[in-house]
Structure 1
């Protein structure tokens, strides 16, 4: 299992730290990731601790020293900001030399075997590494019929937002996808309140507007459920629930297969939670669709 993002490591280890070390951790998180590139002296001054305390803190995280910590942070940020093009250029694309002998490129048998391994491992690591309390809380929020659900995704993940939204619409009322037109979006964002839940799908090359949406919901007392990758979208700072997925794929494109597995797991939990109420809502929808001749 890949190491957790450094910011997440800091959050989870704060409870093990001395009071002085916790000050360092909080200063780092307050302006992450820029704070990670400050000098030891600057961090110590801002946290009102000694320089050795800063060094003890990064040592507690498992780094040999501050340069080692900063090198790991640079590597993480490079991975976090990677695009399919940069991954392709770096050699992450399928190598035609791995062909199983079929003419004209990569062989089917080799590709299928590689895909089976990559997808199986990615889904397995995602589901076994998912915090159970976050999954439970996501199900609670999305199954709460007193809450209004709004879903939004990105360039590719918008498809998954629609997928989850269409399932929710079959099971309960007050579910909507964030509109595409700016006027409609502004109206929806301006109407967020305490009973609102915003579901965001945001993966690397994160989209700045998703952070703004999450901030608006949080400021107005609503809740945010985030589906993201293991590097964590900046939306995580405003989310009550964060569901991270592996993105390994046999191509330079990040895979959404593990995210789909998490999405369907959440749907299964919502079905169980809603029980007979969900069944009645689904039946009513089927009856209306048949009467209207939709199918």
Structure 2
């Protein structure tokens, strides 16, 4: 792969180069993104035919993305597909086979620091501001949901956004209750979703349901990209590989905290008034210790 950014996924490369693509190349790119990465896993003849374009069109597009040719492009998609489906046992095997002879603390620090740098380097400021505006719009309800692992991120997001603005709903972790929430969703409202590998089918089904109701989706996912990406209005890819059987949420949490701060600033001084009223209520409950 000859691209200047070897860490970028094929999906991200398409987004970066999309403005320079021809109309026919964009047709193939959109077909691939609509069924990513499966639409690009066959031969060049088949994928071109399925997208309704010529094989030279596909060949030219993959060159523009920085690949030496279609075989290299095809291998990149296969590597992404393999990476998204591995569980903790295989993840540990992947990193341990090439682990340097340093203390685990050092390896973790290096990996997490790199994840944060990669994540923030790939955040488009316009998309960030657009998502912040959606999340700050208190005239429309904000729903928040996560999966098996990312439910903790959803809970963290809810705790903070609920203090910053009104009309925030934390959807339960039980997907059987989700249709009840969708029933009351209105066009223009926002659903904040957290979904990382191995991507959860229920979250994709939820995204499909809310899109039919013209609900806007803000997605936090990993570097490979949840299938929900194809339905989201704004997607943030957060790097998470570490020397462990699990992925890290540190970069995701840092980006989330940045967004919480941005929403707070958009809503100041309304947010300040909510903080003060919330503190008065906490004083009535004696939840926190006082040192004066």
Matched with 2:26 is 22
Matched with 1:281 is 274
- Cα distance, 1:92–1:194 mapped onto 2, change above 3 Å: farther
Structure having greater relative contact order (Cα 8 Å, sep ≥ 6): 2
Matched with 1:106 is none
What is the distance in 2 between the residues matched to 1:58 and 1:192?
40
The residue correspondences of 1:250-265 to structure 2 (distance < 5 A) are 250-265=243-258
What is the distance in 2 between the residues matched to 1:87 and 1:16?
36
The answer to whether the Cα contact below 8 Å between 1:24 and 1:54 also exists between their aligned partners in 2 is yes
For residue 47 of structure 1, report the CA deviation from its aligned partner: 4.2
For residue 201 of structure 1, report the CA deviation from its aligned partner: 0.6
For residue 48 of structure 1, report the CA deviation from its aligned partner: 4.3
Q: Tell me the TM-score normalised to structure 1 length.
A: 0.88
1:87-121 CA distance string (max 9 Å, x none): 123353896x946xxxxxxxxxx232222222222
Is 1:123 matched up with 2:113? Answer: no
Matched with 1:70 is 74
Structure with max Cα Rg: 1
Matched with 1:12 is 16
The residue correspondences of 1:9-158 to structure 2 (distance < 5 A) are 9-92=13-96, 98=101, 110-158=103-151
- Cα distance, 1:240–1:233 mapped onto 2, change above 3 Å: same
The answer to whether the Cα contact below 8 Å between 1:27 and 1:43 also exists between their aligned partners in 2 is no
The residue correspondences of 1:219-230 to structure 2 (distance < 5 A) are 219-230=212-223
Alignment gaps of 5+ in structure 2:
none
Q: Secondary structure at the match of 2:96?
A: coil
The answer to whether the Cα contact below 8 Å between 1:94 and 1:250 also exists between their aligned partners in 2 is no
The residue correspondences of 1:138-287 to structure 2 (distance < 5 A) are 138-181=131-174, 184-287=177-280
In the TM superposition, structure 1's runs of 4+ consecutive aligned residues that sit over 6 Å from their partners are none
- Cα distance, 1:60–1:173 mapped onto 2, change above 3 Å: same
What is the distance in 1 between the residues matched to 2:98 and 2:32?
38
What is the distance in 2 between the residues matched to 1:91 and 1:115?
11
For residue 141 of structure 1, report the CA deviation from its aligned partner: 1.2
- Cα distance, 1:278–1:15 mapped onto 2, change above 3 Å: same
